[in-house]
Structure formats: C-alpha cells, structure tokens
C-alpha cells in the first residue's frame, strides 16, 4: 500500500535533518513541498533528485487530486518550508483526506521550533498549550489572552518580529508582568533566548530591536493556593484600590491575579460600583 510520509525538515541548521528523513526523501516517487525553491535547496545540499510539486496554503485543496494520483503509483512525501508539516503549516487537509481514503500516513519525528523553545525557556514543561500564530489585531489578541488568563499550563505560540513589541505590551496589560521567554532564530547562527518578566523582555527588544523567527513562551497562571474570594471580599478590595486612585482596569487585573476571579467579572462589579466604564 502506498504511504504518505510527513517529513520534518530543518528550521535552520541543516544538520538537524534525520537519516530516516533523508532516506525517505530519496525513496519516494514525489515530494509535495510548501515552497519548491526552499526544498530544492535542501535536496541539492544532500544530492537528492526526487521530483517536486508545490503544495501550499493557496493550492492545498485544488492540489489534492494530483497528489492522490501520484499516491496511486507509489509513495509521496510532504514537507513544509521548515519544521513539521501540519503544525501551523499546510498539511492537515491532506492528512485528513488521506486517512479518509484509507491511505497509510506515516509521520516522521524531527525538527520543530515549539519543543526547543519550551525546553530552553526555563518555564514549566509538564504541560503546555500550543496557540499557533497569535492573532494579528489587538482586540482578538486581548480576547485570546483573557480567555487564557487562568490557564495554569505554559503557553507557546509563534509571533512575527514586526508585532512582537505590541504583543509583549498586550501580554503585560492583560496577564500582568508574568515571566516569559522569546526564543529567536532557533538552531541558527544568531539563536537567542531572552528570558525575564514581560516588562524586562519588552524593554530589551525596545532597545535592541527584533529580528528573525520568533517563538514565544509565556508562564501560566499561578495555581490558586486557597479558595476563591467571595464577592464581598472582591468588592472590598476593588473599592480600596479605586479610592486610592488606581484605574478600574488596573485594579481588576491585580485582583484577578489574587482572587481566583475572572478579570471581566471584577471589571463588571467595578462598573456597577462607579456607574461608568473607562
């Protein structure tokens, strides 16, 4: 039975490709590549002459029939520009369709940015939530982070260097000054792990600028050590902070971190008390 091989490729250092991946890429009859130019460079480096066809975000549905025609006559390998195909890269639809058609799917282990970033971050690794590419716009990003504000597992996602400063500022605003790590240019010459609080990492990149591929690792919410506060205690803390001149948004965020309450619920109580929104 023909096999669809899912083959990870290096995210930077070409030495990270496995011997098994090289063998598969030599033996299949066709390689479906996200960018044939990028993959051709990799194949030339290892003297592999297997034919290539494109399979990317813009043709991933229309190209399915052609790939399955190739699979009728032999094995096919799927590769992305870098890392594991199907993880924030084209591949899910092809794998799903292959399984539906009864075609054997064999994913190979290999290079990927998520796990090195997580392990190198110094943050807990016993459980994590993969977020994919973070939302580009401010409002959807805030909504996502608010929905994860009480998540105790470490958060991992990809971000563009052009948006990193804005994203770090939103993280600090929504989640507070949590520890995090920006893993940059993993496995490449200028690999960097910038660790610290959100404020510290933001200050670093404001001063030094941001370049390269970014994987962002964010500390989870600290587990509650006691029963969540009752409403009277929340209202009292909120009133105290507001009377001291603190803004409602800041007070709600601070109390949420201590009380086990959702920040939005605390904010709503503040609106009831003050009769106005910020």
> What Rg do the C-alpha atoms of the chain give, in angstroms?
23
Can you give the pTM of this predicted structure? 0.79
Strands 128-133 and 52-54: unpaired
d(CA 216, CA 4): 31
| Average pLDDT of the residues in 37-50 | 97
Is pLDDT at 225 greater than 60 in this prediction? no
d(CA 259, CA 7): 46
Question: Which tokens belong to 66?
Answer: 């052609």
| Dihedral Cα 67, 70, 72, 77, nearest 10 deg | -70
Question: pLDDT digits over 29-38, tens only?
Answer: 999 999 999 9
Average pLDDT over the chain, rounded to whole? 93
Residue 10 — pLDDT band, cuts 50, 70, 90? very high
Right CATH number for 114-218 from 1.10.10.10, 3.40.50.720, 3.40.50.800, 3.30.950.10?
A: 3.30.950.10
Q: CATH topology of 3-107 equal to that of 114-218?
A: no
Fold of 3-107: Cobalt-precorrin-4 Transmethylase; domain 1 (3.40.1010)
Q: What percent of the chain is predicted at pLDDT more than 90? A: 78
Angle between helices 92-100 and 64-71 (to 10 degrees): 50
Is pLDDT at 278 greater than 70 in this prediction? no
| Domain locations along the chain | 3-107, 114-218, 231-274
| Average pLDDT of the residues in 48-68 | 93
């Amino acid at each position: 039975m023909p096999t669809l091989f899912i083959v990870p490729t290096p995210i930077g250092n070409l030495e990270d490709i496995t011997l098994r991946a090289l063998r598969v890429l030599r033996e299949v009859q066709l390689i479906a590549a996200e960018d044939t130019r990028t993959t051709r460079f990799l194949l030339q480096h290892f003297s592999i002459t297997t034919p290539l066809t494109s399979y990317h975000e813009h043709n991933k549905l229309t190209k399915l029939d052609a790939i399955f025609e190739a699979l009728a006559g032999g094995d096919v390998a799927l590769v992305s520009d870098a890392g594991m195909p199907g993880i924030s890269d084209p591949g899910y639809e092809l794998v799903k369709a292959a399984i539906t058609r009864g075609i054997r799917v064999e994913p190979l282990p290999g290079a990927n940015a998520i796990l090195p970033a997580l392990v190198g971050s110094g943050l807990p690794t016993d459980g994590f939530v993969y977020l994919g590419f973070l939302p580009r716009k401010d409002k959807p990003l805030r909504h996502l982070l608010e929905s994860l504000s009480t998540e105790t597992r470490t958060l991992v996602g990809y971000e563009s260097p052009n948006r990193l400063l804005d994203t770090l500022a939103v993280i600090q605003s929504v989640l507070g000054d949590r520890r995090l790590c920006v893993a940059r240019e993993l496995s490449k010459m200028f690999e960097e792990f910038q660790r610290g609080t959100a404020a510290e990492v933001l200050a670093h990149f404001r001063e030094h600028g941001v370049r390269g591929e970014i994987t962002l690792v964010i500390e989870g919410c600290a587990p509650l050590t006691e029963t969540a506060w009752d409403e009277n205690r929340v209202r009292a803390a909120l009133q105290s902070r507001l009377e001291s001149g603190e803004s409602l948004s800041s007070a709600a965020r601070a109390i949420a971190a201590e009380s086990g309450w959702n920040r939005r619920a605390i904010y709503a109580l503040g609106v009831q008390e003050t009769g106005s929104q910020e």
